[in-house]
Structure 1
Amino acid sequence: MFRASPNNRRNSSPSPSSRSREQILEDAQEIIYDCLLQAVHHQSPAEALELFRSIFIDPVGNVTEPHSLAVQEIGFGNNRAVFLNTLQRSCYILLNNWELSRNHSFASQLIDLFATVHRPTLTLPPWKIRIRQWLQTFLESQDYQDLVFFTERLQPPSVLPSPDVNLQSTDKPWTDRYAYYFLVPQYENGNNSQEQRDMARKLSSQMRFRFKLNLAMYVAHSQRSHLNSKQTSPLNGQLQSHAKHRDNHANHVNPTGLGDETLRLIKLIVMRGGFFSHGNIAHIFQGQVEGLDYFSYKRSLIKYLIFSLQDKSAIQQFEILMAAKLDLVYVDYENEIITKVLQQRTCNQVVKLLICEDGKTPSELFVLLLSQGGALTLVIMLLKLTLISPTVRNYLDLQVAHLVRYYQQFPPADCEWFAYFLDVLSVTFTIHAEGVNYTLIDNGTAAASATPDPDRNAEPAAQLSLGDLRLEEDNNRVTAADLVLAKRLDRYQIFSQVSPATINSLDLVSDREDDGDTELLPASF
């Protein structure tokens, strides 16, 4: 292969003039970053904010200050992309450092600064006119909306909105409760600055940890009151989607929109244990497909996804459609032996087919499953994929984020079924995540003790799915099998235990006022 000689490489380099201009702009950017870093490390947040204002919002053109000369160079260079990149990264430098130092209030003050931006006038120097025009462009961009999104969530836990909100009782979009999905594209986008990606990843982790902890606390406290309540029917506690469901302890709200069905869903998922647990089935599948050619692997993967699912008519349609689509995936490798890399890429493609095939709208398979009440069915398929290829999780979150963006344009009343899917997805993956352990225990009643449950560790065929768990007012959908399973689930209590590592990893816990939570976490109820 031809390799360039030193002379060839020298001749292909940028001309001195163009390279000099690029280098000047890069140096100007670094001067601004360094000045801001020095300010956040050695000055007060108010002084750092004032420095930011003097650089970007109202540059004074002081020739004695390095940062003033730097922003003038960018203005003279007439390069809008460089200015916008510098502005955006500078914002995240401030936000990252204020978040670490717990100076959350200055995040909102940063946004307030942009409200003072004036439109350019002809009396200004040309470089200042350009900067004001670029600022107007930034304020109209998605990048600015992302910045506002961050600042709204960089608040002390005491002022964060309750997770138990009525989706139609707030001025914010109904998708705001699933905001952590909006963070995924930000930390997955390699074009974003490292500061923005780090902040997005950290904030996403914090929000997931908060959900995990809130769910565990809700389970513990709701069952305390649940044991004292009289149940007259296994249909008690029907799902009232996205309504308020507070237990007797005011500080422990249901972080989902599932209402009391949250407990039944957790029981249904945790009940799937023993030999036929999803983790064990995934391990068996991995052993069985080792050494298979790729074509056979794709067929086996479909069988693995539908294993033990109950809705035969929907599953038959799914199998035919998925096979047709999967036949078109990596056809050049069909005679090769499956590898870990190929398996990972294939699982990513299956997630794409299941969620958002075109990267914008719901896929055909997504509509097929959810239109037949198969939210839990789809979620279990996605869980199975992550169990055989853990790296799929980020790609899954990215695809779900596309759908959240898509459905954001519709009224909340039209999207309750989609919000239900998101809640089931969150609960299911939280239960299978590390940090909180959920187990089922007998509730200790005489009736329950006298009647053993033979199906608890039975083959999956004996473990009914309860459809999508929504026992609607239309009782025509509630079958005898649903009633039997609901009665079985109600005989159990959930034991939830949060590990100390989970508590320590959640920054907001250290900021909470002591309300007695700590001693409740490791206890069973």
Structure 2
Amino acid sequence: MSYRSMEWNDDVSQSGLSLPQAQQVIYNFLLDIVKAWPPEDVLDEFRHLFIQHIDSVSSQTLPALHVILFSNDEVEFRNTIKRCCYILVNNWEVARQFDYIQALVNLFDDPLLQRRTLSPTLKRLRHWLSNFVACQDFQDLKLFAARLVGDRTINRPGEWVNRYTSYLLVPQYVNEANPIEQRQAARALSHRLKDQFKFDLAMYTAYSQSAIPPRQSIKNPTALGDSTLRLIKAMVAKRGDFSYRNLSRLFLEQTRNTSYVNFKANLPKYLLYTVNANPIARQIDSHLRAKLKHPLH
């Protein structure tokens, strides 16, 4: 197939598309091909459209991009490119084709985007793409891609961002200004990371206190020491006939009509009920009470 670079010239007037219609043309095209084509070919089409700015297999996508560029609205362009990225990300994440998500991010490192041009179309496109790469939206995309590619080494000890990515993703999926594809992808990954962390922690705590050594080394998925983990385990364990669910109900019943001052006074007792004989628990109790005495708490 031969490709040719295009200027907007008469494309905008001939297309007859409004800005939302032009955006939808590109979204629909990417949705169609990401479900039917090999990821390598999808990446090529994305590169042709946004990076190289040449004809693709669709006769509608490049004129549609010209409509977006000619609208001279960089915010709408950024929303468009972001949603296009997450259309691909969401589908590849579901298919567990994680490496292609990183390959998509890598497309924005193409030296072509820094090349000077006399074309007003290309100049605006490359300038807006450079601004997109420098903004928080692209950093969010990079975080998402890096975490997925690192899925084979999930929750590696000593790497803060790996342990807490599930929480860093929360602002992406609760922000209704983000495209639905981004919110769905971020929510799915966040939940999967949390589930994996819980599983890894359960395996580690089980084998670390077992007399039978595991068949393979199991790493601590947290930054906490074993003594701290044992304390936390004791705090969430049952004590006699009282589970924490029952204790919480009892605590709420006892404090329902009490004053806020008395509520704060009783809160440390409830939180540390199962470990009140532990010296560390006494330190925590003192620290909590000092904080709760502050009028702003």
TM tier, smaller: 0.7 to 0.9
TM-superposition CA deviations, 1:50-101 (whole Å, max 9, x none): 2211222122267971111110101111110011101011111101101112
Q: Does 1:121 align with 2:93?
A: no
Who is 2:189 aligned against? 203
Q: Distance in 2 between matches of 1:62 and 1:45?
A: 15
Structure 1 letter corresponding to 2:290? Q
Q: Distance in 1 between matches of 2:42 and 2:125?
A: 20
Q: Residues 297 and 199 of structure 1: is their aligned pair in 2 closer, same or farther, counting only changes over 3 Å? A: farther
Q: TM-score, normalised by structure 2?
A: 0.80
Q: Residues 102 and 318 of structure 1: is their aligned pair in 2 closer, same or farther, counting only changes over 3 Å? A: closer
Match of 1:37 among 21, 31, 39: 31
Secondary structure at 1:69's aligned position in 2? helix
Q: Distance in 2 between matches of 1:278 and 1:220?
A: 20
Match of 1:145 among 117, 139, 146: 139
* Structure 2 segments unaligned to the other structure (5+ residues): 1-16, 273-281
Any residues of structure 2 matched to 1:426-465 within 5 Å, and which? Answer: none
Q: Does 1:307 align with 2:278?
A: no
Who is 1:432 aligned against? none
TM-superposition CA deviations, 1:347-393 (whole Å, max 9, x none): xxxxxxxxxxxxxxxxxxxxxxxxxxxxxxxxxxxxxxxxxxxxxxx
Secondary structure at 1:93's aligned position in 2? helix
Q: Residues 166 and 317 of structure 1: is their aligned pair in 2 closer, same or farther, counting only changes over 3 Å? A: closer
Q: TM-score, normalised by structure 1?
A: 0.47
Could you tell me whether the CA contact under 8 Å between 1:183 and 1:201 is conserved in 2? yes
Could you tell me whether the CA contact under 8 Å between 2:155 and 2:221 is conserved in 1? yes
Count of equivalent residues: 269
Q: Distance in 2 between matches of 1:249 and 1:256?
A: 21
1:301 CA drift (Å):
4.0
TM-superposition CA deviations, 1:171-211 (whole Å, max 9, x none): xxx44432222111111222111111111111111111111
Match of 2:179 among 180, 193, 197: 193
Q: Residues 175 and 297 of structure 1: is their aligned pair in 2 closer, same or farther, counting only changes over 3 Å? A: farther
**Pairwise CA RMSD of aligned residues?**
2.7
Structure 2 letter corresponding to 1:283? R
Secondary structure at 1:273's aligned position in 2? coil
Q: Residues 29 and 83 of structure 1: is their aligned pair in 2 closer, same or farther, counting only changes over 3 Å? A: same
Structure 2 letter corresponding to 1:181? Y
* Structure 1 segments unaligned to the other structure (5+ residues): 1-22, 168-173, 229-246, 327-525
Write 1 or 2 for the structure with the bigger share of helix: 2
Match of 2:104 among 106, 110, 113: 110
Q: Percent identity?
A: 36
Q: Distance in 2 between matches of 1:315 and 1:112?
A: 47
Q: Residues 128 and 209 of structure 1: is their aligned pair in 2 closer, same or farther, counting only changes over 3 Å? A: same
Match of 2:129 among 130, 135, 139: 135
1:212 CA drift (Å):
1.0
Who is 1:180 aligned against? 166
Q: Distance in 2 between matches of 1:303 and 1:275?
A: 24
1:131 CA drift (Å):
1.1
